[in-house]
Amino acid sequence: MSIEQQPSLPPVLRPANPPRRELSELATRFAREVRGDLTGVALTGITLATADLRAGEAFVAIQGVNRHGAEFAATAAEKGAVAIITDAAGAVIAEPVGLPTVIVDDPRAVLGALSAWVYGTGADDELPLLFATTGTNGKTSVSHLLEGILDQLGVVTGLSSTAERHIAGEVIVSRLTTPEASEMHALLALMRERAVEAVAVEVSAQALSRHRVDGILFDVAGFTNLSHDHLDDYADMEEYFEAKLPLFRPDRARRGVVCLDSPSGATVVARAEIPVVTVGTPSIAADPEAAARADWVVSIDDERAAGTTFTMTGPAGVLTTTVPVIGPHMAANAALAIVMLLEGGYDWARIVTALERDGGIEAYLPGRTQLVSGEAGPAVFVDFGHSPDAFEKTLAAVRRVTPGRVLMLFGADGDRDASKRFDMARTAVEGSDILVITDHHPRFEDPDSIRATLVEGARTARPDAEIHEYSPPEKAIVAAVGLVGEGDAILWAGPGHQDYRDIRGMRTPYSARELARRALKAAGWPVPDSHWPVPYPDED
């Protein structure tokens, strides 16, 4: 694939045998007004995007930032749409197309309820057990840990995370942290069709604010932590926090499990409107005493590059096990996942037996402090973390398993929350021996300017630090490998599992894991065989 090519977006998944719904009944339930003849019109799905539309579906046209979705009504009709669902302004735009039109006040706000009705995935429908995880950091890890433990229990699983969608063993790369409501409900319908028993879903603040999980009642909702992030979407940290709280209402979840390691955990408990159980890890908590009073208390027994051993103690008993990722924060994530399963109705003895049988938790966490190096030479970890808090925790974890120096390699997102860049640079330089600053997703920002801000933040925090700047990342990782040796470690934070960089709206092929492997190999260090898809031709 040429670097100029745009990798194809992952497909939107739908049930193979979707229900047929009468448009007239949809209008009776949801419409403020209808235009055109609805008689005899049936639909088999619903979507926001003409690119994903299939014949027989309804096209939901919403007002975007720059254009109204109704401007694409003709394209929807050409692709086989049977109806348009939109607001009054959209109905005027779509009228020349001639499709039956259902008018609602706010199409996005009603999309979850519409999708739940179309696919039969509402609170009163028969669905798999649904586990939701929210928080700033750890959502993806907890989701994959939930799936991994469920697999060990012999459960047919589903997953929707930042990294991937899983349906009974099928793996699809994700588009958004949480899919749009129409895609989410179609995904749940497909999982039900494939006899999935339990589903782990990563729920972002944006998903709650933008109605992406509307119409879904989760059996258990988990909260990891809250730290500086996403202030490009929210006015301040208070607004960002408030966006997450609705997940702990009875219309969103039946039960909650809350980690008390960040100060916001106690606030979630105080304001939750559902029964809540707490988990705490005193050794890493902002308030160790509060964490020690949690229903479930986690202690760290051992940290190695291959994983972290911990003990959790609570009402059901005591369990000592290992999570296959470094860091006490990953042990906290694992304990949160275990308690969520317990609250979801899985038997404690069954969980303990499975983990003891397998010698610990068996879970693959794509791009989460992922060790990509071999048995000799510097250890290279690739991580998805992109916030000051994530940097601090992961650097500390890498430090504890590294006998030599720690090199930090990172860049910052363009066109995203710029207010955290100074703190990212400060945390990175304070936690490392060598800092290498490079590019990440510049999007439409000037990458030179982004790097300059990061360098300034790092030098302000530690004027005497060893700081290097390289662009592009392909050059930076080669330089980083040349700066370290046996017993040292490199933490490349930001890209994680992703297989592209966003440069001026173009998704250019890119894999930090593969670039690191090739840089190590070029330097003469042994590397394991690549076991993940890479967007580059083989150079061997």
Rounded CA separation 117/166 (Å): 23
> pLDDT digit string (tens) for 248-284?
999 999 999 999 999 999 999 999 999 999 999 999 9
Q: Answer yes or no: do 104 and 133 share one domain.
A: no
Rounded CA separation 436/445 (Å): 20
370-373 long-range Cβ contacts below 8 angstroms, 24+ apart: 370/496, 370/497, 370/513, 371/305, 371/306, 372/513, 372/516, 372/517, 372/527, 372/528, 373/516, 373/517, 373/520, 373/525, 373/527, 373/528
**How confident is residue 234, by pLDDT bands cut at 50, 70 and 90?**
low
> pLDDT digit string (tens) for 311-368?
999 999 999 999 999 999 999 999 999 999 999 999 999 999 999 999 999 998 887 8
Q: DSSP letters along 96-143, please?
A: GG---EEE-S-HHHHHHHHHHHHHT-STTS---EEEEEESSSSHHHHH
Q: What is the CATH number of the domain that holds 204?
A: 3.40.1190.10
pLDDT at 388 over 80: yes
Of 358, 380, 403, the residue that ends a domain is 358
With respect to residue 484, please indicate whether it lies within any of the assigned structural domains: yes
Rounded CA separation 404/334 (Å): 28
DSSP state of 250: T
Rounded CA separation 191/197 (Å): 8
Number of domains in the chain: 3
Q: Rounded to the nearest 5°, which phi and psi values hold at 259?
A: -85, 135
How many residues are listed for the chain in this entry? 540
Q: Which domain holds residue 449?
A: 370-522
Q: How far is CA 75 from each of CA 69, 71, 318, 382, 409, rounded to the nearest angstrom?
A: 11, 9, 59, 42, 45
Q: Answer yes or no: do 386 and 517 share one domain.
A: yes
Of 77, 99, 119, the residue that ends a domain is 119
Predicted local distance difference test score (pLDDT) of residue 291? 98
Whether the bond between 11 and the residue before it is cis, its omega within 30 degrees of 0, is no
Q: Answer yes or no: do 114 and 141 share one domain.
A: no
In the chain, DSSP finds a helix count (H) and a strand count (E) of 17, 26
With respect to residue 9, please indicate whether it lies within any of the assigned structural domains: no
Contact 302, 281 (CB under 8 A): no
pLDDT at 3 over 50: no
Q: Judging by beta carbons within 10 Å of its beta carbon (0-12, 13-18, 19+), is residue 529 exposed, middle or buried? A: exposed
Q: Answer yes or no: do 285 and 395 share one domain.
A: no
For the chain, the maximum distance between any two Cα atoms, rounded to a whole number of angstroms, is 75
How many Å separate Cα 417 from the centre of its chain? Answer: 17
Rounded CA separation 525/404 (Å): 17
With respect to residue 11, please indicate whether it lies within any of the assigned structural domains: no
With respect to residue 527, please indicate whether it lies within any of the assigned structural domains: no
Terminal-residue alpha carbon distance, the chain? 16
With respect to residue 42, please indicate whether it lies within any of the assigned structural domains: yes
Rounded CA separation 247/132 (Å): 8
With respect to residue 464, please indicate whether it lies within any of the assigned structural domains: yes
> pLDDT digit string (tens) for 394-406?
999 899 999 999 9
Q: Answer yes or no: do 438 and 420 share one domain.
A: yes
Rounded CA separation 183/140 (Å): 19
Q: What is the CATH number of the domain that holds 42?
A: 3.40.1390.10
DSSP state of 20: P
Q: DSSP letters along 319-339, please?
A: EEEEESSSSHHHHHHHHHHHH
Q: Answer yes or no: do 399 and 309 share one domain.
A: no
With respect to residue 5, please indicate whether it lies within any of the assigned structural domains: no
Q: How far is CA 149 from each of CA 46, 156, 279, rounded to the nearest angstrom?
A: 33, 11, 18
pLDDT at 537 over 90: no
Q: List, edge to edge, every strand of the sheet that includes 434-437.
A: 370-371, 379-383, 489-493, 406-410, 434-437, 466-469
β-strands 129-134, 218-223 pairing: parallel
Rounded CA separation 100/112 (Å): 21
Q: Answer yes or no: do 320 and 379 share one domain.
A: no
Rounded CA separation 130/87 (Å): 32
Q: Answer yes or no: do 302 and 345 share one domain.
A: yes
> pLDDT digit string (tens) for 428-465?
999 999 999 999 998 999 999 999 999 999 999 999 99
Q: DSSP letters along 363-395, please?
A: ---TTSSEE-S-SSS-EEEEE---SHHHHHHHH
Rounded CA separation 9/507 (Å): 10
Mean pLDDT of the chain: 91
Listed in sequence order, the DSSP H helices in 362-485 are 388-400, 421-430, 447-461, 473-482
Contact 202, 162 (CB under 8 A): yes
Q: Answer yes or no: do 76 and 41 share one domain.
A: yes
Q: Answer yes or no: do 115 and 148 share one domain.
A: no
Q: Answer yes or no: do 109 and 149 share one domain.
A: no
Taking residue 464's Cβ as centre, other Cβ atoms within 10 Å add up to: 6
pTM of the model: 0.82
Predicted local distance difference test score (pLDDT) of residue 540? 39
